[in-house]
Every structure is written in structure tokens, then in C-alpha cells.
Amino acid sequence: MDFTLTKEQEMFRDMAKEFAEREVVPSVQERDREERFFPEIMQKMANQGFFAIKVPQEMGGLGLDWTTMGLVAEQIAAVDFSVALTFYIQTSLEIMPILIAGTEEQKKKFIPDLMTGKKIGCLAAVEPNAGSDATSVQTTAVPDGNEWVLNGNKSWITNATVSDYSVVLAQADKSKGTKGIATFIVENGMPGYSKTKISHKLGCRSSDTGQLFFRDCRIPKDNLLGAIGKGMATALQCIEFTRFGISCMAVGVTQACIDASIKYALERKQFGRPIGSNQLIQEQIADMIVGNEASRWLSYHVAYMKDQGITSTRETGIAKYHNMDVAMKATRTALEIHGAYALTDDFPMERFYRDMTGPLIFGGTANVQRLVIGRFALGIDAFR
């Protein structure tokens, strides 16, 4: 297997790194403090072509691969996880469901504006009583003439209050269970649709998270996205893309922890010499490096499989589980190496530490990844 990056992949990686330093770093501390979203950065990312990476060329996109998506996510996450997440899910949870399940009309209507950053979307699967078990959605969709009528609540939805529309998972035929679930596009301003922001999150503060409410919400028949019964499969496919992205972002965060820890360990003197002279500090840094080397190759392997069209549910679960574990440990180690100074937001360590609590949960918790891996190993589905 050859993981040598192409010139184009290297170019996107370097462009993302330069972009992150120039456009994301200057406001990161303030946005985190103020829990402020970043429409100006979204537009600049669109101008760089970042939202067009997975859009086919015949639709005006770049038609590139998941490896490129992963490399860009990794570089942005190394400075700001909130921006990296929003970059990534504009493709994985907004563009992809429409590319996978949309009609030609829906693609023409939504993709150009998403690709150029004029519109932001969100994907709403999780509900107050349907978290890890997304199949237990209680939001209903009932046909009525030329419309669908939606009722229910969605919670913990990324981009909820900044989005122009949401792709909503709802039960259209309860008698069929999971096979009755469908996805619908609900646009802002449709009657009975409202949202509210979730504030004061521990991490990912600059990323928008909120709740969506549907109260006899009427949407046109044409806003059904894909066939009834296919909604769960589409959502799971897109969540798997997101899992892969999180595994790449974890690599970026861990690398940032390594780089900052090395720099600080060489500068900070205690007992008359740099703290990096101590074997215990070197051991801590070496462990982060070993962990991230494994993380990087796990995520590149998943990227390779996705780009080859090879099913990678198991490998994506392994990468997400492993890389998040390594990243969480690395943020703690980096915090420790930076001593008391790490507790202020003059250093990014405390933000990295807090931010990792978000992706530990979304995209499927560590336990959910374990059960995916266990299902492949034992042939027993522990979810049932």
C-alpha cells in the first residue's frame, strides 16, 4: 500500500495549514471566550474551495477525495477544533446527504450555495430520547396533501441556529420500524419550525450547537430527501464520513499538543535546565508521538479505503476510537507539561483539553465504537 500523497493532496494540506494560521488563529481565543460563530471564516473557507472538495466536477466542484478532506481537517483542527468541525461537516453532514439521496432538482437547488458558503446546513438525527440509539427517533412525518407535517424535537445539533436548512431524520411509517425512517429538508421560515442555541458548552464553544423544534411543521412534499426507509442508511453513511473526519481532526490536535510541548519543554527551565532534559518529560512526549503515529496511519488507511470505495465501517470505528483516546490523553499530557500556565487561555492547551470532550461523544461515543468493533469480531450485534 502506497500512502505517498499526491502533489494536489500536499498542496491542499499546505494551503489549509497556511489558511489556519492566517485566518483562524487570530480570532480563536476571542471566539472561544465569546462562544461566537464565524461566518467570515466560513466564507473564506468557501473561497479557498474547501467546501467544493467532494462535490463532483460536473456540478462545479473539485471532485477530490476523502484523503484531501482528512488532510484539510487535520490542519485546521491543529489550531481550532470548532472551525475544523464546521468545515468538515459542511461536506459530511450537509453536502453528502444531498449528493447521496437527493434528486437532480434538490442537488441543483442546494449544492451550489453550500459549496460556495452562501448557505449552511445541519443534520438532525439525535433527539432528547434518541442518542446512541438513533433508530428510536420519535419525530414523526405525516403526509397531508402536498405537504409533510413534522412533529418532534432534535437536540445537540451542530449548526442548529446558524443553518439555513436542516436535514431531519423522522419516522414516516412507525409500523415499519427502522424501515419507516426517512430524511426531510426543512428550510428556515417554514411554518412550525424553530430553534434555540445551547450555550455554555464545556468545549467546541465557537461551534454552534442547538435544538430544533417541529410543531405541526409543514414542508412541501418535494422536500422528502430520498426514499422512505432509506433515511437511516443515509444518516449512518454520513455519520461514518464524520467519524473518519473526527479521527483526522484528533491527529491534528495531538500533533499540536506534541509541537507545543516540545517547544515549551525546551524553553522552560527548572532545576537549572530545560524541563525537556528530564527523562520523564521525554517519555511523556515520546508516548504522544508514538500514539499519534499510529493515529495518523489509522486515519490515512481509512481515507485510502474510502477513496478506493472499500467498505470501512470497522476501520473507521477503530480510527475514531483510537485517535480520540490518544488525543484526549495528549491534551492532558500537554496541559501537565505546560504547568500552571496551561490553565490560562493564553496557551491553547486548556481549549484543546475542553474541546476533545465534544468529539468524544458525537459521531458515536467510545462505547458505540467498541460495539461496532466487537460486532465485527464476534458476529454478535450488541445493539439489538
Ligand X SMILES: Cc1cc2nc3c(=O)[nH]c(=O)nc-3n(C[C@H](O)[C@H](O)[C@H](O)COP(=O)(O)OP(=O)(O)OC[C@H]3O[C@@H](n4cnc5c(N)ncnc54)[C@H](O)[C@@H]3O)c2cc1C
Residues near ligand X (CB under 6 A): 122-126, 131-132, 156-158, 204, 209, 358, 361-362, 364-365, 367-368, 371
Q: How far is the CB of 184 from ligand X (least distance, A)?
A: 14
Q: How far is the CB of 339 from ligand X (least distance, A)?
A: 29
Retrieve residue 215's grid coordinates: 410543531
Q: Cβ of residue 136: shortest distance to ligand X, in angstroms?
A: 10
How far apart are alpha carbons 232 and 101 in whole angstroms?
A: 11
* C-alpha span between 148 and 264 (Å, rounded): 58
- Kindly tell me which of 123 and 228 has the beta carbon lying closer to ligand X: 123
- Tell the smallest beta-carbon distance from residue 39 to ligand X (Å): 18
Task: Collect all residues with Cβ–Cβ distance below 8 Å to 241 and sequence separation of at least 6.
Answer: 66, 91, 92, 93, 96, 306
Least distance between ligand X and beta carbon 360 (Å): 9
Closest approach, Cβ 122 to ligand X, in A, equals: 6
At 199, is the secondary structure helix, strand, or coil?
A: coil
Contacts of 200 (CB under 8 A, 6+ apart): 35
Runs of H (alpha helix) within the chain = 7-19, 25-34, 39-47, 66-77, 81-89, 96-101, 104-115, 231-267, 279-308, 313-337, 349-355, 357-361, 366-378
Query: Burial, 284: exposed, middle or buried (Cβ in 10 Å; 0-12, 13-18, 19+)?
Result: buried
- Specify the length of the chain in residues: 384
Nearest residue to the partner ligand X, using Cβ: 131
Minimal distance, residue 15 CB to ligand X, in Å: 26
Q: Which is nearer to ligand X, 69 or 122 (CB)?
A: 122
Q: Which is nearer to ligand X, 45 or 122 (CB)?
A: 122
Residue number, 244 or 264, with CB nearest to ligand X? 244
Taking alpha carbons only, the member of 68, 94, 75, 236 closest to residue 158 is 94
Q: How far is the CB of 239 from ligand X (least distance, A)?
A: 8
**Residue number with CB closer to ligand X (207 or 261):** 207
Q: Which CB sits closer to ligand X, 245 or 364?
A: 364
Cβ nearer to ligand X, comparing 210 with 348: 210
Q: Shortest distance, CB of residue 100 to ligand X, whole angstroms?
A: 16
Please, which residue, 140 or 365, has the CB nearer to ligand X? 365
Question: Under DSSP, is residue 129 helix (H, G, I), strand (E, B) or coil?
Answer: coil
Measured between alpha carbons, how far is residue 8 from residues 62, 68, 115, 213, 272 in Å? 11, 8, 19, 43, 47
Cell of 183: 430524511
Q: Map residue 147 onto helix, strand or coil.
A: strand
249: which 3 cell numbers? 481532526
Q: In this complex, which beta carbon is closest to ligand X, that of residue 277 or of residue 365?
A: 365
